[in-house]
Structure 1
């Protein structure tokens, strides 16, 4: 069986794709056995810091070019 030159790239792509699917499928089957069990995640009951955030530039605000780069 000979593969035409026009179809060699498609054949190579198909072969590589199938090999990758087989490897990924095999690893997915053995992941629960080899990996550690999932730990139950519980939300932290402590309150979060509600301090005001730094101001940010609003989209649509007038643009002022920085003429002197040393002044920030």
Structure 2
């Protein structure tokens, strides 16, 4: 049961290695900022997949380019 294993272990951000990222879905589409040309180049989410459409996109995106996560909060509550 991968879920139980993940819950017991603190998530560690991967260093950009796509194969390490396969173990965890480490990107939330609602928190990502992506230029629209990326979707033109890579395509959108694959709607034919039954689940993990966003994860498939992140794997394709990571294969083509580098991305990083911000360590600090970058939003403001109004």
Which range, TM-score by smaller chain?
under 0.3
Q: Indicate the structure (1 or 2) with the bigger Cα radius of gyration.
A: 1
TM-score (norm 1): 0.22
TM-score (norm 2): 0.21
Task: Give the structure, 1 or 2, with the largest relative contact order (CA under 8 Å, sep 6 or more).
Answer: 2
